[in-house]
Structure 1
Amino acid sequence: MFGPSALRVNPRSVALPGGVCASFAVAGYPRDVGAGWLEPLLTYPGRLDVSLHVEPVPPLVAAQRLRRQLARLESASRTDAQRGRLADFAAEAAADDAADLAASLARGHGRLFRVGLYLSVHATDPGELEAQVQRVRALAASLLLDAQPTTFRALQGWTTTLPLGHDSVKTRRVFDTAALAAAFPFTSPDLHPNLTDAPVLYGLNAYSSGVVVWDRFAQDNYNSVTIARSGAGKSYFTKLETLRLLYQGVHIAVIDPEDEYQRLCHAVGGTHIALGAPGVCFNPFDLPDGKEDDTLIRRALFVQTLIAAMLGEPLTPAARSVLDRAVLAAYRTCGITADPRTWNRRAPLLADLTSQLDLYAQTGTPNACAAADLAARLAPFVTGSYRGMFAGPTSTRPHGHLIVFSLRDLPEETRTVGMLLALDAIWRQVTDPGDRRRRLVVVDEAWMLMREDEGARFLYRLAKSARKHWAGLAVVTQDAADLLGSDLGQAVIANSATQILLRQAPQAIDKIGAAFDLTDGEKGFLLAADRGQGLLCGTATGSDRAAFTAIASQHEHRLTTTDPAELATLDHPDNSPGKELDPQ
């Protein structure tokens, strides 16, 4: 149950039930290594076990050994010079490396580790094993690795490569922190990202066994754009990144048009606000918590923008003049003036604004007709079919580590208005000078906002200014034409240092290829990509591109999937949260 029933130990191989294996210990390494230098071994097409044993060296012991080694090398170099021998360039290079390591260790920039690298090659018979051994040794030699067989220690070599954490061979080499970090297979050979302490796993590299890890907060800006056709997995991927950023303490706000984030939000204890649902109100006149000198003026200007979105057209100069006076008058009726001490009082409602417009319409002034027209056109939002969201004060405050604004219950006629309200509430938190933290604003199905001029301009402002407040904008859309077909949409793409392309429709691949400078091979990959497969384009260097497949644990999959068949299974009474689903 725990191992093979019998073994036959030969001088250089171990015969296992159904196969045979040979092990090697790496005794020589190149002088310099790059990130992911073990990738060729990890992607070997045959069965090859690679084991890396790491043991830290105490700093005091490391310093003493470095001093002795440096003294030994310098003494040998001086002796050769005194006796007139030719310079030993290998010894000089070793002395320079030892001096650099000693300086780095003294400054606390790194540590030393004893590292053992071992390989076990598996085959079905001795003839095949010999061929595989030759290929593996040739591959190791191409990496400047000296792989020596564990002669008469075949059993110890095999057990050393098992996941037991025990090194029976003890053929080790001293590594510094940089060299050891480069040995770990946590990078993609196609990426050269500037990673910080909190990168995010995007998935497995589509062309190797490496992983694709990316940190949006280490790029020039923190914005991203995700474009894919319907059903390609863009929301699934976005929810995975959202969940993994929450692990790292990033504050996230989501605009959710289809209520796809509700399960995730409830699982992590977030705040879910279903705009348009019965009893859910959201007052646009609320003043933000972070009070500045121009808070009231900025709020009045946003109300004018919101009214224009409600009416579906830009305001005329007369209407804008009347509306500006009516908004300030509505605040005054609640006792709110330019004095910051009055800003904690109850904010007016949309009904108070229409009341002021009605009063202005009765004055008989030149702009009275404009006031009456505005009041009449706002009537559906006050007393008509769309009044639910503006009927009272805000019912749920948007606070928490995850805030989800669901727009599914909003009528199509007011969906853009609800999205604009949600973005404004998020922007108020992003710009709060008293609460600086890493934030991400996710706008799913952004094409709905891009259809409206006011919404597109608001999104453009967020893309341009979010970085100044330690925040990023993640735009997710299935309609590339809405982004590529407008100047504002192209500006959003240009201000996104992280660009993610999943499966594309043939009708849109030419525009996307031209916009993102894709090669014919990359366009072919996006046309034939399976669900969850995509292309990460990092614009930090212009050459960071990697094809990947998004992966999720079983628990993450339960929270992020939107497959109706799977959701029906998850909601079944027999599948309580404490039970695991059949992986099939």
Structure 2
Amino acid sequence: MRPRQDPNPIEGTTMAALPGPAAVHTHPDHVQVADGYTATLIVTGYPAEVGPAWLEPLLSWPGRLDVVLYVDPLSAPAAAARLRRQRARLESHRLDDAGRGRVSDPLTDAAADDAAELAERVARGESTLFRVGLYLCVTAASPTELRDAVTHVRATAASVLLDTQPATWRHLQGWQSGLPLATDRLHTRRVMDTDALAAAFPLAGADLPAPLPGRPGPAGGILYGLNRASHGVVWWDRWSQDNANGVVLARSGSGKSYFVKLDILRELSDGVHVAVIDPENEYLRLADAVGGATIVLGTGGVRLNPLDIPAGDRRDQARTRRALFLHTLVAVLLGEQPPPAERAALDRAVLTAYDTAGITTDPDTWQRPAPLLRDVTAALTDQDGPAGQMLAARLTPWTHGSFRELFDGPTSTVPAGQLVCWSTRALADELRAAGMLLALDAIWREIDNPAADPPRRLVVVDEAWTLMRDGDGARFLARLAKQARKRRAGLLVCSQDVLDVLGSDLGQIVIANAATQVLLRQAPQAIDLITDAFALSTGEARALLTARRGEALLLSGTHRVGFQIVAAPAEHRLCTGELDLDD
């Protein structure tokens, strides 16, 4: 007869036995649990004074380290009796030294004074004593890695003046003490008061703050990477900050464009509309892969008329805004603000050109074809006085000369799509800043359209130093940074020329209005300016000087976290231009 088998072998088994390992092998310096090796360190010595979050270096240690803290309160009578014995022992030492004619021990004197002060606080109910046990459980994949990890953890503990001792022949009890069973098998305790114990709690860490208990987690956001200190996930939502603006600063070759492309891909997946100013054709293949629109300024047939009034805009000042923008464009073309007489002549010429085209202050006339830049110069030439004729002559290269292609006709391309990439690489250097300004103006006209429930929009300006070198272009960018938040938009400024961005007052305005700031590796020549502008600590500045490709520092208010950029294989190939989305 075969023995009867239990149909449910788990029934009757205690819960403590179910999740346990099949076997635990004990050794003098560690225990082997399944495929892992664990060693326990007992904290036996503490510094005389500690600051807030003094356990943070251990909590942020880059590896598998469990920091175990056992706390048992002492009753008031037991605490008072313990303090009386401690004070009596210290005072007897002091009296013995005095009776033998010895010089008093300063350590004994300090300990006696501290004990007396603590006794007074306990007697007044201002503090409570606790019996505290602090253990560090280190886990690694092999005995060799475990020994190296234990050495590193002991050095980290020593850096905050903590003395540690291995639990030799007691590592099994140490491993059991580290389990979430609230059972201390080592029983190595130290008496602490309320202040010291409160400072030991992990109130600060390398990770971004999590939602408070009972609060819902963030509904949006994208993955930035992995925390370099804790290996946690850095998940960031620029749209839940004070504003959606951002800035990315890095030296060449540090991974800036890769990070920005990854940011664009993930924002697109979140339903955000993105427009990119691309001076080096780095984003064209990405736009083609995801079905976006590309506009290559400087090629034949691509024109932008700066005097166009946005379609559907019925606001009273629409024509006046276009006239003011033309003042900004002319200043960028000439490289300086014209003299007051020429500016006055330009203003009269713009109004004359609009009136000649039949466009008045009546919104019903704004659908008519807008005048061109050459019409404005013709109106300048017809004016009496030398100012208009001088300005018309200065604008000749852009109306009838070598640079007229971009303005010589009505707007030929109307951008549309969730991702629009404006390339300015084909433009001559003399037109590069003007082309970026025209592209930004076209983007802004779409953002500023008073439509109901507009989508979230992100404007990415790569190599922003091209505009920052020009005062009027920088002013336009600063206005965009200030006004984008009110229109459900954000401005992301990227540059590898840190000195041009931070070396001007307008660049500082753009930085100050960016709630999300990402810094990658920096050059030694710029690190002092970066440190002052972003209030970096010495450690943060050193980390930026030695950061490898793809390592970055995220700053936002009081939040500071270093992270390693991570991407899925398909994302990586899209960002490097090796794969189309259909592949």
Larger radius of gyration: 2
1:191 aligns with 2:208: yes
Specify the code of the residue in structure 2 equivalent to 1:311.
L
Does residue 549 of structure 1 match 2:572?
no
2:467 is the alignment partner of 1:449: yes
Which residue pairs with 1:21 in the alignment? 34
Quote the Cα distance in structure 2 between the aligned partners of 1:432 and 1:237: 30
CA 138–405 in structure 1, closer or farther in 2 if over 3 Å, else same: farther
**Is the Cα–Cα contact under 8 Å of residues 61 and 229 in structure 2 kept in the other structure?**
no
The answer on whether the counterparts of 2:457 and 2:489 sit within 8 Å (CA) in structure 1 is: yes
Report how far residue 41 of structure 1 moved: 10
Instruction: Please name the residue that 1:324 is paired with.
Output: 347
The reply on whether 1:280 has 2:295 as its aligned counterpart is no
Per-residue CA distance 1:229-279 (angstroms, 9 max, x = gap): 111111111111111111111121111111111111112222211111222
| Amino acid in structure 1 at the alignment position of 2:342 | A
SS in 2 for 1:511: helix
> Deviations 1:14-38 (Å, cap 9, x if unpaired)?
379xx96289xxxxxxxxxxxxxxx
Q: Distance in 1 between matches of 2:361 and 2:580?
A: 54
The residue identity in structure 2 corresponding to 1:382 is T
Specify the alignment match of 2:391 in structure 1: 374
Contact 2:289 2:582 in 1 (8 A): no
Q: How has the CA–CA distance of structure 1 residues 334 and 489 changed in structure 2, closer, same or farther, with 3 Å as cutoff?
A: same
SS in 2 for 1:253: strand
* Residues 514 and 218 of structure 1: CA distance in aligned 2, closer, same or farther (over 3 Å): same
Q: CA RMSD in A?
A: 3.3
- Matching residue of 1:464: 482
Answer whether contact 2:309 2:366 (CA < 8 A) is retained: yes
Contact persistence 1:43–1:209 (CA under 8 A): no
- Among 236, 241, 251, the alignment partner of 2:273 is 251
Q: Which residue of 2 aligns with 1:239?
A: 261
Conserved 8 A contact 1:310-1:417 = yes
CA distances 1:387-416 after superposition (whole Å, capped 9, x unpaired): 111122212112221121111111111111
The 3-state SS of whatever aligns with 1:536 is strand
Secondary structure of 1:197's counterpart equals coil
Matched, 1:536 2:554: yes
* Residues 188, 546 of structure 1: 8 Å contact kept: no
* Structure 1 residue runs without a partner (length 5+): 1-8, 24-39, 49-120, 149-186, 562-566, 580-584
Once the two structures are TM-superposed, the CA of residue 511 in structure 1 deviates from its matched residue by: 1.4
- Listed one character per residue, the Cα deviations across residues 200-226 of structure 1 (whole Å, up to 9, x for unaligned) are 110011122211111111111221111
Matches within 5 A, 1:174-573: 189-192=206-209, 196-289=218-311, 290-360=313-383, 365=384, 368-435=385-452, 436-539=454-557, 542=558, 544-561=559-576, 570=578
Report what 2:187 is aligned to: none
**Contact 1:285/1:348, CA 8 A, preserved across alignment:** yes
- Residues 59 and 205 in structure 2, CA contact (< 8 A), matched pair in contact too: no
When residues 124 and 239 of structure 1 are mapped into structure 2, their CA distance, relative to the original with a 3 A threshold, is closer
Cα separation, 2, equivalents of 1:226 and 1:250: 19
| Code of the aligned partner of 1:354 | T
Q: 1:504 to 1:576 in 2, by over 3 A?
A: closer
Give the superposition deviation at 1:131.
8.4
Question: Normalization by structure 1: what TM-score?
Answer: 0.66
- Alignment match, 2:134: none
Matches of 1:481 and 1:318, distance apart in 2: 34
Distance 1:199 1:285, change over 3 A: same
Quote how far apart the aligned CAs of 1:306 are: 0.7
The answer to whether the Cα contact below 8 Å between 1:229 and 1:478 also exists between their aligned partners in 2 is yes
Cα contact 1:439–1:470 (8 A) shared by 2:
yes
Alpha-carbon distance in structure 1 between the residues aligned to 2:334 and 2:471: 12
TM-score scaled by length of structure 2: 0.66
Provide the rounded CA distance (Å) in 1 between the counterparts of 2:175 and 2:489: 47
Deviations 1:442-478 (A, max 9, x none): 1111111110010111111111111111211111111
Counting matched residue pairs gives 422
Question: Structure 2 stretches of 5 or more lacking a match?
Answer: 1-16, 25-31, 37-57, 67-138, 147-168, 185-203, 212-216
| Deviation per residue, 1:79-103 (Å, 9 max, x gap) | xxxxxxxxxxxxxxxxxxxxxxxxx
SS of the aligned residue for 1:468 comes to helix
Sequence identity (%): 52
- Code of the residue aligned with 1:334 in structure 2: it is A
CA contact (8 A) 1:300 1:324 kept: yes
1:122 and 1:255, CA in 2 relative to 1: closer, same or farther beyond 3 A? Answer: closer
Whether the 8 Å CA contact 1:280–1:396 is kept in 2: the answer is: yes
Please tell me whether the aligned partners of residues 47 and 123 of structure 1 are also in contact (alpha carbons under 8 angstroms). no
The secondary structure found in structure 2 opposite 1:14 is coil
Distance 1:277 1:450 in 2: 25
Cα pair distance change 1:204/1:297, threshold 3 Å: same
Q: Is the Cα–Cα contact under 8 Å of residues 227 and 234 in structure 1 kept in the other structure?
A: yes
Contact 2:276 2:461 in 1 (8 A): yes
* Cα distance, 1:347 vs structure 2: 1.3
- Determine if contact 2:273/2:457 at 8 Å carries over to the other structure: yes
The one-letter code of the counterpart of 1:377 is: R
Q: Whole-Å Cα distance in 1 between the matches of residues 257 and 421 of structure 2?
A: 14
Counterparts in 2 of 1:545 and 1:287: CA distance versus 1, 3 Å: same
| Partner SS state of residue 395, structure 2 | helix
Secondary structure at the aligned position of 1:434 is classed as: coil
Superposition deviation, residue 359 in structure 1? 2.2
Flag the 1:512–1:296 CA change in 2: closer, same or farther, 3 A: same
Q: How many angstroms apart in 1 are the aligned matches of 2:205 and 2:561?
A: 7
